Structure 1
Amino acid sequence: MDDLDDRILGILLEDGRASFSAIGRAVGLSTNAAAARVRRLESTGVIAGYRAVLGVDEPIRNDAIEAFIDVRLRSERDSDAFLSWARALASVMDAAHVTGPFDYHLHIRVRDMAALDALLRTLKKDGGVEQTSTTIALR
């Protein structure tokens, strides 16, 4: 999985019925390339299925990890561009620009500690993040 896959998953989490052409436009791919990526995510089990949600919020799975990540950006990273990029990540539930020693406060949900580690690495490698501080929600 890469940044494009994360962005595609974020789109599908918001709208599981998004068309391949809409997904492609949102992430800068052709319709065929977007379709190929979605099909690969389905065939590898990253996307296990689609479902209708009937007027209630999706419950957080008992084994999921919910956390808050404070983020300080590198000086050259554009703040607005980071916000758009971060909100497109599938695991980011919310992002807020904040005051204090950090630039952003991210509310995230991941399947396990390995996914949390991967997200932190992605933030630093691809997101222009200089420093993070993570707090895991206990309940």
Structure 2
Amino acid sequence: MDQIDRDILRELTADARLPFRELGTRVGLSANAAAARVRRLEADGEILGFTIRVPAADSPVGAPARPGLEVFIDLRLRPDVTYEAFAASRASGAFPELLDAVHLTGSYDYLVHAVVPDAAALDRLVRRLKSDAGVAQTFTRLAMRTPPPTS
């Protein structure tokens, strides 16, 4: 997976209905090249499907407001990894699942907020954080429900 693939995933995460022409423009490809990349990402299992989000209050079946698992992960960096190096790995777009990361005091260095499609994707994210971002230890919590939208 290269930077263009990560950019495609970021754009489709924000709007899965982007036309290939618009997607290509945003990531620097033609519409045909963007479509080919999306098909390859689907074949490789990086894109598991497309979904709609329906606010739970409006859903007859109580569908969650966000698809997938919403997680909070405490991270402890390896001693040889600087905070700047971790921030650079996050800023590179290598982790499109991460919605936010905050530097902490206490026994962990960062708290990250992420959304992943399923447990297998969560496992891949944690493994990539350890192999590619200098993370030594993690502690993961799942959000059981989110508060209802405010009016």
The bucket for the TM-score relative to the shorter chain is 0.5 to 0.7
CA distance in 2, matches of 1:15, 1:98: 31
Q: Where does residue 91 of structure 1 map in the other structure?
A: 97
Q: Percent identity?
A: 43
- Distance 1:105-1:75 versus aligned 2 partners, 3 A rule: same
User: What letter corresponds to residue 104 of structure 2 in structure 1?
Assistant: V
CA distance in 1, matches of 2:130, 2:97: 15
Aligned length: 125
- TM normalised by structure 2 equals 0.62
1:40-119 pair list within 5 angstroms: 40-42=40-42, 46=47, 48=49, 59-61=65-67, 64-86=68-90, 88=93, 89-119=95-125
Query: 8 Å contact 1:92–1:106 — kept in the other structure?
Result: yes
Query: 8 Å contact 1:42–1:49 — kept in the other structure?
Result: no
CA distance in 1, matches of 2:142, 2:83: 24
Query: 8 Å contact 2:7–2:27 — kept in the other structure?
Result: no
Query: 8 Å contact 2:8–2:23 — kept in the other structure?
Result: no
5+ long unaligned stretches in structure 1: 25-30, 52-58
Higher relative contact order (CA 8 A, sep 6+): 1
Query: 8 Å contact 2:69–2:143 — kept in the other structure?
Result: yes
Task: State the shift of 1:71 in Å.
Answer: 0.6
Q: Where does residue 54 of structure 1 map in the other structure?
A: none
Task: State the shift of 1:121 in Å.
Answer: 0.6
What's the secondary structure of 2:85's corresponding residue? Answer: helix
Q: Higher mean Cα deviation, 85-94 or 113-122?
A: 85-94
- TM normalised by structure 1 equals 0.66
Which protein is bigger by CA-based radius of gyration? 2
Task: State the shift of 1:129 in Å.
Answer: 0.5
5+ long unaligned stretches in structure 2: 53-64, 146-151
